[in-house]
Amino acid sequence: MRHMVLLSAGLIGALTLASCSREIDKEAVERALQDVNVIDESNLNSVILNSSDPNEAVSYFQRALAHNPDRIDMQRGLASSLVRAKRYTEASAAWQKVTAMPGATQEDKVDLADALIRTNAWNKAKDVLATVPPTHETFKRYRLEAMVADSRQDWKAADSFYETAVGLTTTPGGVFNNWGFSKLTRGDYAEAERLFGEALRQDPNLFTAKNNLVLARGAQRNYSLPVISMTQIERAQLLHTMALSAVKQGDVSTGEGLLRDAIATHPQHFDAAARALEALENG
């Protein structure tokens, strides 16, 4: 009888363990599936965020937030999508909401400042950046700090921030271009020319820097194109820019000659240069 009791107890124990094992397995499977769902959703969010149509991404994140209004990752996705869609006023409001949510980071404040700058809200952007601690040293933060300093004509601070930003990125072409434009607006044309040259050494395809370089040379009455890589269309466009710069300096005959060169160089009809030349010839 005693053996029967022990056997029954053992059998019950085995069955209990088997039942527990099945429960544990079930819980493990559910957790694993949840993890997979999180990964899949994260991947989907990334794909949507970088989709070719930013307005579709905006709609996606708006729908997601209607069901999960407390999801900061979805709110960030909406704010980023609004920036990509060039809906900057809405983007500023969306980033403002992100910064007020639990789990917000210093980088969220930087992104808010970026959106504010795009709406020309320079003072608000300055105030937001002032709340970011000095220990948050990122390329984007210092690039924006430099732009804000430029807007306030605080040239010493701007130069310092641009220099810091250059050291925090492996692709400083755009920063050198912005820094050069800052020097151009100050009338420091020689230094602007040097910085645009630095920008093109970093990124030879940066047409904005090519155009700005021509403006800097033209401001010094140097009307020869720089020795840089350029396509035939770019050459025509740069000749056009140089021509307008010459006219602005009062060198009208030089400007007319450059416009004729631009028209002859362009592989198609260069309407802007043709209209400018006609206007000059008609006085």
> pLDDT confidence of 143, banded at 50, 70, 90?
very high
- Rg for the chain, CA atoms, rounded: 30
Top pLDDT among 14 and 214 is at 214
pLDDT tens for each residue of 23-36: 445 555 555 444 44
Give me the percent of the chain exceeding a pLDDT of 70.
84
- Mean pLDDT of the 141-163 span: 97
In single-letter form, the type of residue at position 97 comes to: K
Buried b (16+ CB within 10 A) or exposed e, 99-122: beeeebeeebbbbbbbbbbbeebb
Q: Is the pLDDT of residue 8 over 70?
A: no
